[in-house]
Structure 1
Amino acid sequence: MEMVDDGIMEKLDLKTLGFESTNDKFRIADFGCSVGPNTFFAVENIMKAVEHKHLAQFNNSAALSGFQVFFNDVTTNDFNTLFKALHSNEKYLPLYYSSSKEIEEIIKANGNFSIERMDSLSHNIWKTSRETKIKVSVTGGRAVFQGLLEDHFGREVAEKTFENFETKLDENFSIIDGAAHEHIDHFILLKRNVN
């Protein structure tokens, strides 16, 4: 979250946005990268960083009047909803890792935002113990699929699925071991284009 803090402190100008003299709420939109509880943690960190920036920029004057957050990855409005609307005779997997180039092209084509900062985050977690790699893989699987499995099959079946997944990963460790499976996430700081 250090990148979020640094990006907000460096790039966010609350005065230009009118937060010195207005009671307007600061709005945050989650565009669906985080899943499950991670979404809430990410937004909470953004809110703390914005509050810190507000205090720093306005020398502890009037506090922000609040935040309004728009979530894309809560149970009622996420990939689960999308997949319920797709044709049932096809196979779909709600997981896709975009390249930095693809993300940049999509943002530029949209035209509503400019990219202020974009970094790839390589996870050193894959250079740790076998047990840690398995736990991280299962946790990632839970973050993406748990809601979908629980909606369709119930909590008990979902739990058993992840227990079996952990066992199978342990039995077939080679599928998650090795440098060829390095996982990359992206940190992207966007600035809304004002027309």
Structure 2
Amino acid sequence: MNPLSIPMAVARLSGRVITLPLAAYRALTNPRDEAQAGFVNRVVGVGKEVTGTLLGDEDLREAGQLQGAKGDKQREAVAERAVAEQKAEQAREVAARERRAAEREKAEIRAEEAEEKAAVRQQAAAREQSAEVAAETREELVEEAADATRRKASEKASAAAATKQRTERTAASAERRAEEARAEAERLDDAAS
């Protein structure tokens, strides 16, 4: 490709007029994609640094180093955000699977409870022939079965809640790291300005 055929844009930089490829100029002035802006900032930073070194302009060289560091941080922030979003999505999927499993377990517990109650009623009916003993036995068996079922349900619900909390903490931690990377990129941007 002929370098003269690339559309160019003129920009003023530290009091000097420079010529940039139009695509780079547009990415700097109206970035649509942070990764693209990070790459362009890195390239422009290296350009400033080299130009500053060649011209003996220490301010331009330092500005180039800062802009290059800003570009690196932007790309890191994009990568960390992508990882955080992926982890958050995985955590949501795990939570959804656990929720479905907990619902299945609750349904199984209800079915078991119904079976146990039916068995208890049958046993109670057989024992009701001896009036007073049958009534007391029936109530005790129903309560024992209900207590056992409640204990099982409570244990399973506690385990599901603990797993959900772990996945939420993992997603929050990943999002916090991505936010810190963005803040660092903004700090470097402010330092470069």
TM-score, normalised on structure 1?
A: 0.23
Larger helix proportion of the pair: 2
Larger strand proportion of the pair: 1
- Over alpha carbons, which structure has the higher Rg? 2
TM-score, normalised on structure 2?
A: 0.24
